Amino acid sequence: MDGTQMEGRGAALTARYGAGAEPKAGPWNDTIALLLSHRSVRGYRPDPVPDGTLETLVAAAQSAATSSNLQTWSVVAVDDPAVRKELAEVAGNQKHIEQCPLFLVFLADTSRNARLAQAEGTELAGLPFLESFLVASIDAALAAQNAVVAAESLGLANVYIGALRNDVTRVARLLGLPPGVAPVFGLCVGYAAEGREGEVKPRLPQAAVLHRERYDADDAGHRAAYDPRMAAFSARHEMAADSWTKRVIARLGTMKALHGRDRLKDALVALGFPLR
């Protein structure tokens, strides 16, 4: 590794963890540098993405691991401005859903395998269980993250939209989803607007998430070290609930903060996931 690469590695680790909190430096390459540079972007130029980008991102997504090769996920590319407007409303009026040139909704999808069983004249006894929905959701997340990395390698920005789960019933209606299909999250893709490029958000110290041999629940010191870094990040971006501690409490401290997701289980059952 030459001096430039070493300098870049150090800068990337500092950006992700904060000065003085960097983990031990190890092997490095352009792929790792790209992964560490990830940031959420919530403002997009109207410029379209190059022709074939959607198909390339889906190819990358389909190259992700999938449990037992069941491939229990799908994705809907949404172009209709009226539908996007309603999806933005579901997600708390996040206008970047309407702005971005490419908007994708990733789905947990057990319906394809259900149709397979019907065509083959058999029954999938394991399909109605929570495990099947969990596998489908994990499949969708793995696929989407592959798409995100592929997009960023092409110079495209992105942000996940978990708030589509505020009203999965409405999203299912808007997208014409059959039983056994549910939205897991959305994904905005496009070119960052000037001044909206985002910043690498600091993460917890590695010692808070990396355990060796046995889980160590003594993490108060890690949180105390992390809170000021998140507070500084929040101040730079004029965000409320400045420290990580305050953010967690604000996000999970009240039922209101769930924005309807406290009813998610019943909605999923109605969408064709018995969750036994």
* Rounded Cα–Cα distance for residues 129 and 180 (Å): 12
What's this model's pTM, rounded to 2 decimal places?
0.96
Across 162-248, the runs of DSSP E, i.e. the strands, are 181-190
CA-nearest of 152, 184, 150, 178 to 166 is 184
pLDDT digits (tens, 9 = 90+) for 192-224: 999 999 999 999 999 999 999 999 999 999 999
pLDDT at 156: 98
Contacts of 78-81 with C-beta under 8 Å, sequence gap 24+, read 78/103, 78/104, 78/105, 78/175, 79/103
DSSP 164: G
Beta carbons within 8 Å of 59's beta carbon, 6+ residues apart: none
Mean pLDDT score across all residues of the chain? 96
Which residues face 181 on adjacent strands?
109
**Whole-number pLDDT of residue 242:** 86
Inform me whether the pLDDT recorded for 257 exceeds 80: yes
DSSP structure class, residue 126: T
Average pLDDT estimate for 241-264:
93
